[in-house]
Chain A
Amino acid sequence: MDAPYAIEMVNITKRFPGIIANDNITLQLRKGEIHALLGENGAGKSTLMSVLFGLYQAEEGVIKKDGKEVKINNPNDANDLGIGMVHQHFKLVQCFTVLENIILGVESTKGGVLQMDEARAKVKALSEKYGLQVDPDAKIEDITVGMQQRTEILKMLFRDNEILIFDEPTAVLTPQEIEELMVIMNNLREEGKSILFITHKLNEIKAVADRVTVLRRGKYIGTVDVATTSKEEMSRMMVGRDVNMVVDKEPAKPGDVILKVENMTVASKMHSNNAVKHVNLEVHEGEIVCIAGIDGNGQTEFVYGLTGMEPLVEGKITLCGEDITKSSIRQDRHKHGLVLDYPLEYNMILQRYYQPDFTSGAGFLKRKEIREYSERLEKEYDVRSGQGPITIARAMSGGNQQKAIIAREIDKDHKLLVAVQPTRGLDVGAIEGVHRQLIEERDNGRAVLLISLELEEVMNVPDRILVMYEGEIVGELDPKKTTVEELGLYMAGAKRNVTVDANSSEIEESEVIDTAAARKEEA
Chain B
Amino acid sequence: MALVATTVPPKDDVARLLAQAHFSVEPGVLRIFRVVSDAARENDPREPIKLLEVNSDTVPAGILPVYFGPHNASGILYPSVVIEVTPEEYEAISHGRLTLPNGWVLGPELPRTAA
The judgment on whether A and B are partners is no
Binding site for A on B (CB under 8 A): none
